[in-house]
Structure 1
Amino acid sequence: MFEFAARLRKLREQAGRPTYRDLARHAHYSIATLSSAAAGRQLPSLAVTLAYVRACGGDEREWELIWRRTADACAGAPAAAATENRHSDDARPPYAGLAAFREADAGVFFGRERLTGALVEHLRERRLLVLFGASGSGKSSVLRAGVLPAFVGVPTLVFTPGPHPLEECANRLAARAGVAPGPVRAELAAESGALHRMVRQILAGRQEGDSATEELLLVVDQFEEVFTLCRDAGERERFVASLVHAAQAPDSRTRVAVAVRSDFYTHCTRSPGLVDALPHAHHPVGPMTVEELRAAIVRPAARARLTVESALLTTLTADAHGRSGALPLLSHALLETWSRRRGNALTLAGYRAAGGFEGALTQTAEAFYRALSDSQRRATRRLFLRLVALGEGTEDTKRRVPRQELDDGPDTALVLEQATRARLLTVDGDHVEIAHEALIRCWTRLGDWLDEDRDQERLLRALTEATALWESLDHDRDILYRGVRLAAVKDLPRQALTARERAFLDASESAAEEAQRRDRRRLRRLRRLVGALVVLLVCAVAAAGFAVQAQNTVTRQRNEAVVLRAADESVRLSPHDPALAAQIALAAYQQAPQKRTRDALLSTLSVASAGAGPAGPRPTGHTPAVTADGRTLAMADGSQILLWDIADPRQPRRLRTMDGDGVGMNFIEFTPRGDTLVGAGADRTLRLWDVTDPRHPALLSQRPTGHSGAVYSVAVRRDGRMAATAGYDDTVRLWDITDPARPRSLAKLTGHIANVKPVAFSPDGTTLASGSDDGTVRIWDVTRPQRAATIAVLEGHRHFVDALAYSPDGRTLLSGSDDRTAKLWDISRLPRHRQLGELARHADIVAGVAFAPDGRTAVTVGVDGAVNTWDVTDRAHPAPLAFLTNPGGSVKEVRYLTADGTILTVTAHRSVQVWYTDLDRVLAAACDRFHGTISRARWARHFPRLDYAPPCPRRAAADPA
Structure 2
Amino acid sequence: MRACDGETEEWERRWHALAGELAARSAPDHAPTDDTPPPYVGLAAFQPEDAERFFGRETLTQQLLDKVADRRFLGVFGASGVGKSSLLRAGLIAQLRRSAAEPPVIVMTPGPRPIEECAVQLSGLTGRPAASLLAELRADAANLHLRVRQALADRRATDLLLVIDQFEEIFTLCRDPRERELFINALITATHAPTSRSRVVIGIRTDFYSQCAPYPELAGALQDGQILVGPMTTDQLRRAITEPAVRLGHTVETSLLVTLVADSAGEACVLPLLSHALLATWRRRRGNTLTLAGYQAAGGIQHALAHTAETVYQALTDDERDLVKDLLMRLVALADDPGDGEDTKRRISRDELPADPRIRNVLERFAAARLITLDGDSIQITHEALIRCWSRLRDWLTTNRENLHLRRHLTEAAEDWEALNRDPGELYRGNRLERVRQLAVGNPATLSPREQAFVNASIAAETDHHAEIRRHTRRKHLLFAMLALVVATGTAVITMYPTSQGSGNTPCWTSFDPVNPEGAPMDQYYRNCEKAERRVAAVDEEDKYQHKTVFDLQPDEVAHWRWNSTTKDHHYTTVYVTTRGSGR
| TM-score (normalizing by structure 1) | 0.48
For residues 659-688 of structure 1, what are the alpha-carbon distances to aligned partners after superposition, in whole Å with 9 as ceiling and x for unaligned? Answer: xxxxxxxxxxxxxxxxxxxxxxxxxxxxxx
TM-superposed CA distance for 1:497, in Å, is: 1.1
Specify the alignment match of 1:147 in structure 2.
Answer: 92
Are 1:491 and 2:442 counterparts? no
Aligned pair 1:454/2:401, yes or no? yes
Aligned length: 478
Q: Tell me, in whole angstroms, the C-alpha distance in 2 between the residues paired with 1:373 and 1:430.
A: 25
2:354 counterpart of 1:407: yes
Give the Å deviation of 1:26. Answer: 5.1
Cα pair distance change 1:373/1:87, threshold 3 Å: farther
Deviation digits for residues 20-68 of structure 1 (CA, Å, limit 9, x no counterpart)? 6325325437xxxx6xxxxxxxxxxxx46458xxxxxxxx8xxx5xx99
Contact 1:101 1:141 in 2 (8 A): yes
Q: Deviations over 1:111-135 (max 9, x none)?
A: 0111111111000011111111110
Question: Paired residue for 1:212?
Answer: 156
Instruction: Give the structure with the larger helix fraction.
Output: 2
1:337–1:346: 8 Å Cα contact kept in structure 2? yes
Q: Give the match for residue 467 of structure 2.
A: 517
Question: Mean alpha-carbon deviation: is it higher for 237-246 or for 265-274?
Answer: 265-274
8 Å contact kept, 2:17–2:311: no
Counting only pairs closer than 5 Å after superposition, residues 103-182 of structure 1 correspond to structure 2 as: 103-152=48-97, 153-182=102-131
- Report if aligned partners of 1:237, 1:273 keep a CA contact under 8 Å in 2: no
The 1:186–1:273 alpha-carbon spacing in structure 2 relative to 1, beyond 3 Å, is farther
Q: 1:474-532 CA distances to partner (integer Å, 9 max, x unpaired)?
A: 22211111112212211112222122211110111001100111111111111123335
Aligned ranges for residues 79-118 of structure 1 at < 5 Å? Answer: 80=26, 83-86=28-31, 88-118=33-63
Q: Which residue of 2 aligns with 1:368?
A: 312
Judged with a 3 Å threshold, the aligned counterparts in structure 2 of structure 1 residues 221 and 470 are, in CA distance, closer, same or farther, namely: same
**Compared CA separation, residues 216 and 511, structure 1 to 2 (3 A):** same
User: Cα distance 1:426–1:300, how it changes in 2: closer, same or farther (>3 A)?
Assistant: same
DSSP-derived class of the 1:151 partner:
helix
Give the CA deviation at 1:460: 0.8
Q: Is the 8 A contact 2:17 2:310 kept in 1?
A: no
Question: Which whole-Å CA distance do the structure 1 matches of 2:10 and 2:292 have between them?
Answer: 29
Equivalent residue number for residue 309 of structure 1: 253
Distance 1:333 1:357 in 2: 5
Q: Contact (CA 8 Å) 2:414, 2:454: kept in 1 or not?
A: yes
Indicate whether 1:508 and 2:458 are aligned.
Answer: yes
One-letter amino acid of the counterpart of residue 248, structure 1: H
Is 1:195 the equivalent of 2:140? Answer: no
Offset, 1:534: 5.3
Q: CA deviation at 1:164?
A: 0.5
Structure 2 counterpart of 1:221: 165
- Residues 574-613 of structure 1: matches in 2 within 5 Å? none
1:408, CA displacement in angstroms? 3.9
- Amino acid corresponding to residue 515 of structure 1 in structure 2: H
Q: Is the 8 A contact 1:108 1:300 kept in 2?
A: yes
Counterpart among 525, 529, 534 of residue 479 in structure 2: 529
Structure with the greater relative contact order (CA < 8 A, sep ≥ 6): 1 or 2?
A: 2
Superposition TM-score, scaled by structure 2 size: 0.78
Q: CA deviation at 1:272?
A: 2.7
Q: Which sections of structure 2, spanning at least 5 residues, go unmatched?
A: 489-584
Query: Is the alpha carbon distance of 1:332 and 1:120 closer, same or farther for their aligned partners in structure 2, counting shifts above 3 Å?
Result: same
CA distance in 1, matches of 2:5, 2:291: 30
Equivalent residue for 1:685?
A: none
Contact 1:83 1:340 survives alignment (8 Å): no
For residues 442 and 20 of structure 1, the distance between their equivalents in structure 2, rounded to whole angstroms, comes to 22
Aligned pair 1:463/2:410, yes or no?
A: yes
The CA distance in 2 between the partners of 1:199 and 1:294, in whole Å, is: 42
Which residues of 2 match residues 359-438 of structure 1 at below 5 A? 359-393=303-337, 394-438=341-385
Task: State how far apart, in whole Å, the 2-side matches of 1:97 and 1:49 are.
Answer: 23
Q: 1:50 to 1:107 in 2, by over 3 A?
A: closer
* Greater strand share, structure number: 1
Alignment of 1:169-318 (within 5 A): 169-204=118-153, 211-318=155-262
- Matched-pair contact (CA < 8 Å) for 2:245–2:251: yes
> Following the alignment from structure 1 to structure 2, what is the Cα–Cα distance between the partners of residues 221 and 489?
35
Equivalent residues of 1:480, 1:504 under 8 A apart = yes
**Separation in 2 of the partners of 1:449 and 1:495?**
17
Matched residues in 1 for 2:421 and 2:429: separation? 18
Distance 1:478 1:255 in 2: 43
Whole-angstrom distance in 1 between the partners of 2:351 and 2:300: 37
CA positional deviation for 1:253: 1.1
Shift of 1:533: 5.7
The 2-side partners of 1:356 and 1:256 are apart by: 38
Q: Which residue of 2 aligns with 1:804?
A: none
- Rounded to whole Å, the distance in 1 between the matches of 2:72 and 2:453 is 48
What is the letter of the counterpart of residue 529 of structure 1? L
Alignment partner, residue 847 of structure 1: none
CA distance in 2, matches of 1:468, 1:84: 51
Larger mean Cα displacement after TM superposition, 436-445 or 296-305? 296-305
Query: 1:580 aligns to what?
Result: none
For residue 430 of structure 1, report the CA deviation from its aligned partner.
0.9
SS of match in other structure, 1:426 = strand
- Map of 1:548 onto structure 2: none
Tell me whether 96-105 or 151-160 shows the greater mean CA deviation.
151-160
What residue identity is the alignment partner of 2:353?
L
Displacement, 1:307?
1.1
- 1:137 maps to a residue whose letter is V
Quote the offset at 1:196 in angstroms: 1.0
Aligned partner letter, 1:427: L
3-state SS of the aligned residue for 1:135?
coil
Counterpart AA for 2:6: R
**Alpha-carbon distance in structure 1 between the residues aligned to 2:59 and 2:87:** 11
1:478 to 420, 425, 430: 425
Unmatched 5+ stretches in structure 1: 1-11, 35-46, 52-59, 69-78, 205-209, 539-961
**Matching residue of 1:354:** 298
**Match for 1:404: what amino acid?**
D
SS of 1:322's partner is: coil
What is the aligned partner in structure 2 of residue 335 from structure 1?
279
Q: Distance in 1 between matches of 2:225 and 2:8?
A: 49
Residues 67-112 of structure 1, C-alpha deviations (whole Å, 9 max, x = no match): 99xxxxxxxxxx84x5355261211111110000000001110001
State how far apart, in whole Å, the 2-side matches of 1:137 and 1:369 are.
27
SS of aligned partner of 1:88: coil
- Tell me what 1:21 maps to: 6
Q: Give the residue type in structure 2 aligned to 1:401.
A: I
Task: Write the distance in 1 (CA, Å) between the matches of 2:122 and 2:216.
Answer: 25
Question: What is the match of residue 665 of structure 1?
Answer: none
1:536 Cα offset (Å): 12
Cα shift at 1:203: 2.0
Would the aligned equivalents of 2:238 and 2:257 in 1 still touch at CA under 8 Å?
yes
Quote the offset at 1:240 in angstroms. 0.8
Residue type matched to 1:24 in 2? Answer: E
Q: Distance in 1 between matches of 2:11 and 2:447?
A: 27
Counterpart-to-counterpart distance in 2, 1:463 and 1:398: 18
CA spacing shift, 1:218–1:536, aligned 2, 3 Å? farther
